[in-house]
Amino acid sequence: MDVHGHLPLAPRDLLILAVLAERPSHGYGLIKAVEERSESGVLLDPANLYRVLRRMRELGWIEEAGDDEGRRRVHRITDRGHALVSAELARLERLLGQARPALAQGRSG
Amino acid sequence: MDVHGHLPLAPRDLLILAVLAERPSHGYGLIKAVEERSESGVLLDPANLYRVLRRMRELGWIEEAGDDEGRRRVHRITDRGHALVSAELARLERLLGQARPALAQGRSG
DNA sequence: CCGACTATCTGTAGAATGACACTTAGTCAC
DNA sequence: GTGACTAAGTGTCATTCTACAGATAGTCGG
């Protein structure tokens, strides 16, 4: 699982894959889900989202799960995509573990 | 402190700022520090680093702390930069809090 | 002088992003 | 039929990133 070489994941890639790791979704649903769960004001523009979705499909991070009612194309995360999110989350956890204490302490020094 | 509009931070921006939040550093030192602390194989190319550093200086995230011995330009994080890292780390913590359990559970479903 | 290491920085090419506007089409309420 | 909402896309432009290579220069050991 050649997950390295793609890390670190772009923030929006991670958000998209994180949502898809929870449940398969279609493009519009992803826009809404990402908007909701990131209070920080992270937005997905459709122009970008569908491009990213195609790129992820080509990279084998996600796959089409057939269509829901004929109108919505549902995207599902693959094992490779899942491994990628896991690796990125692990990386971020290590980063947070290092940066959090340094941030608190660095201010007084 | 208009920190929003810049979030989410690009992964390498965050790494750079996180190091600088710990202690002021010069360019070459940043390359080495980021290389060491991210086992995930995240590298900083000098070509990118110095450009990113200039951009961050223009945005007021970092500032020059004079030079160390005349040869090395030392960069220090500003209050604005510090606020930015804090905000980004907080965003990542929320993200991890949501994504971690979903990732563990989403596999069985 | 030569080589290795430290250090800053430019040039370039290809890919991707972000933000804007726009099209097409089904559903639902009125 | 009109308007609002859901849904999937395309087109474009400026900016940016990444990765490659190379220029320039000081220090230290041999």
Contact B42, B34 (CB under 8 A): yes
Average pLDDT over residues A2-14: 85
Q: What is the DSSP string of B11-76?
A: HHHHHHHHHHHHS-EEHHHHHHHHHHH-TTT----HHHHHHHHHHHHHHTSEEEEEESSSS-EEEE
For a pLDDT cut of 90, what percent of chain A falls above it? 58
Q: How many domains does chain B have?
A: 1
pLDDT band at B108 (very low <50, low <70, confident <90, very high): very low
Cβ contact A98:B85 at 8 Å: no
Report residue A56: phi and psi, to 5°: -65, -35
**Mean pLDDT, rounded, for A72-101:** 92
Q: Is the pLDDT of residue B14 over 60?
A: yes
Residue A2 maps to a domain:
no
Give the mean pLDDT of chain A.
86
pLDDT, tens only, B54-104: 999 999 999 988 766 567 889 999 999 999 999 999 999 999 998 989 887
What pTM was estimated for this model as a whole? 0.90
Each residue of B15-61: pLDDT tens digit? 999 999 999 999 999 998 888 876 656 778 898 999 999 999 999 99
Q: Which residue has the higher pLDDT, B37 or A13?
A: A13
A71 CA vs D5 C1’ separation (Å) = 15
A55 assigned to some structural domain:
yes
CA proximity to B27, closest of B60, B76, B61:
B76
Establish if B56 belongs to a structural domain.
yes
In a domain, A21, yes or no: yes
Under the banding of pLDDT at 50, 70 and 90, the label for residue A68 is low
* Full domain range(s) for residue A68: 9-108
Q: Which of residues 39-98 of A touch B (CB under 8 A)?
A: 39-42, 77, 82, 85-87, 89, 91-96, 98
Q: Is residue A3 part of a domain?
A: no
Structure tokens at B49: 């680093």
Neighbours of A82 (CB within 10 A): 20
Q: Please report whether residue B61 resides in a domain.
A: yes
CB contact (8 A) between residue B11 and residue A15:
no
Q: Which of A15, A16, A82, A103 to mutate to test the interface with B (most CBs of B within 10 A)?
A: A103
CATH code, A58: 1.10.10.10
Nucleotides of C under 7 A from a protein CB: 6-12, 16-22, 26
Contact partners, residue B66, CB within 8 Å, separation at least 6: B74
Do the Cβ atoms of B19 and B35 come closer than 8 Å? no
Rounded Cα gap, residues B90 and B88, in angstroms: 5
* Domain presence at residue B2: no
Q: Is the pLDDT of residue A106 over 70?
A: no
- Say how far apart CA A21 and CA A36 lie, in whole Å: 16
- Could you tell me which residue, B2 or B80, shows the higher pLDDT? B80
